[in-house]
């Protein structure tokens, strides 16, 4: 099985045009089904603005413009939130909502009953773990089946999966606020979710932003590194594998990539991935290292370490709210004021992408966009 991943070098002055070129190189017109709604699935790893953590405004705007040019005008943005992340704060602080409003793209929330309901879904594919984690049945948003989906992750490390990207982006969209039940089986969960995606979506596409990539204990407490690249593919496994290799890791050493590759859900072996665009970028090695922070060190004790036997007591009962509170306090009230605020401030002042973000406003639309609400 051979898959194609497009990579292009970009700069702030041409990023919207570069995203259009990128998506054409990755054959977006044939990857998605025409005459159906296309979901834009933003990535909000943190409601606070922190470089490398969340879908960038130019990433979202560039994708909207390119999709419209390709004839995909029925676009809807779908947001999720976690127990420690606020979608309403995040979409404003990260300048995502103004983009949607400018292009008349409705925003729906998978946690609002007025937008969608959680319904039981019986996968056709054999599940690795989801049917065991949720023995009462697997629930997904009833809004998702029958619609295309375009994932908008960033290139970054992750404390539980080492790297994160396209496959992990479905974790928030397809699972409800009990998704933390899956952390100890996170790799197999991502494979199950990709199998479900292939059953319910007529088209899947990913545009990944590596303009500022995240090194270190992501998806939040990272070291932002300017890399000036963009990636796109209709193969979630292949784009994650290429991003993984760029960060300096062996893709097949990552269980979620290897299992998805072995089950025929995509291509995780770099030797079988066709790179198009600025192909010389494939040779880069950023030598990233994930590491840990205080919260992840404690979390790993319960998810993967000697405290694993206490998971059901700690995370399937009201005791979980103590961990939620502690995580929110650590990230928002301790780490960000002490470390993250300076990093974000320096990025806004000294990085060309920070300068772009600081004054970012949507560009005049190439033509009137129409959406079905």
Kindly give, in sequence order, each residue whose CB lies less than 8 Å from that of residue 212, ignoring residues fewer than 6 positions away: 51, 52, 56, 154, 224, 225, 226, 227, 347, 351, 353, 354
User: What pLDDT is recorded for position 286?
Assistant: 98
- The token duo for 372 is 């079905």
Strands (E), 148-234: 148-152, 154-158, 162-164, 204-215, 223-233
> What pLDDT sits at residue 83?
65
pLDDT tens, position by position, 215-269: 999 999 999 999 999 999 999 999 999 999 999 999 999 999 999 999 999 999 9
Q: Is 7 helix (H, G, I), strand (E, B) or coil?
A: strand
Q: Which DSSP string do the residues of 332-353 spell out, in sequence order?
A: IIIIIIIIIHHHHHHHHHH-HH
CA distance 327 to 159: 14
Among candidates 174, 184, 194, which has minimal Cα distance to 303? Answer: 184
pLDDT of residue 182: 83
What would the pLDDT profile of 56-92 be if each residue is shown by its tens digit? Answer: 999 999 999 999 999 999 999 999 987 678 899 999 9
Q: What is the pLDDT of residue 21?
A: 98
Strand partners, 274: 4
The tens digit of pLDDT for each residue in 291-309 reads: 887 666 666 666 666 666 6
pLDDT recorded at residue 367? 52
Residue numbers in the chain where pLDDT is lower than 50: 368-373
Q: How far is CA 310 from CA 2, 127, 299, in A?
A: 43, 24, 12
Q: Give the number of residues written for the chain.
A: 373
The CA distance from 182 to 145, in Å, is 22
DSSP assignment of 43-59: -BS-SS--TTTB--HHH
Question: Do 182 and 175 form a contact (C-beta atoms < 8 A)?
Answer: yes
């Amino acid at each position: 099985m051979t898959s194609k991943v497009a990579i292009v070098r970009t700069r702030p002055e041409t990023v919207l045009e570069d995203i259009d070129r990128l998506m054409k190189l990755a054959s977006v017109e044939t990857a998605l089904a025409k005459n159906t709604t296309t979901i834009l699935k933003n990535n909000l790893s943190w409601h606070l603005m922190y470089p490398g953590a969340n879908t960038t405004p130019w990433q979202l705007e560039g994708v909207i413009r390119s999709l419209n040019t390709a004839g995909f005008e029925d676009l809807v943005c779908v947001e999720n939130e976690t127990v420690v992340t606020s979608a309403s704060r995040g979409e404003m602080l990260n300048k995502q909502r103004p983009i949607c409003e400018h292009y008349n793209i409705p925003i729906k929330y998978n946690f609002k009953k007025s937008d969608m309901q959680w319904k039981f879904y019986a996968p056709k594919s054999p599940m690795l773990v989801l049917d065991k984690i949720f023995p009462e049945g697997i629930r997904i948003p009833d809004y998702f089946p029958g619609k295309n989906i375009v994932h908008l992750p960033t290139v970054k490390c992750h404390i539980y999966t080492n790297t994160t990207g396209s496959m992990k982006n479905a974790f928030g969209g397809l699972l409800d606020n009990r998704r933390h039940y899956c952390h100890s089986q996170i790799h197999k969960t991502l494979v199950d979710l990709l199998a479900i995606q292939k059953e319910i979506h007529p088209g899947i596409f990913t545009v990944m932003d590596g303009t500022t990539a995240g090194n270190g204990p992501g998806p939040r407490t990272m070291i932002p590194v300017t890399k000036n690249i963009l990636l796109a593919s209709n193969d979630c496994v292949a784009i994650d594998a290429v991003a993984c290799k760029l960060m300096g890791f062996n893709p097949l050493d990552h269980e979620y990539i290897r299992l998805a590759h072995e089950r025929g859900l995509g291509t995780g072996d770099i030797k079988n991935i066709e790179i198009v665009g600025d192909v010389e970028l494939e040779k880069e090695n950023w030598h990233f290292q994930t590491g840990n922070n205080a919260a992840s060190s404690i979390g790993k004790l319960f998810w993967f370490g000697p405290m694993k036997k206490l998971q059901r007591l700690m995370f399937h009962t009201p005791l979980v709210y103590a961990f939620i509170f502690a995580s929110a306090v650590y990230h928002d009230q301790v780490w960000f004021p002490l470390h993250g605020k300076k990093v974000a401030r320096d990025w806004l002042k000294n990085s060309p992408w920070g300068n772009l973000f600081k004054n970012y406003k949507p560009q005049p639309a190439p033509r009137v966009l129409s959406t079905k609400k």
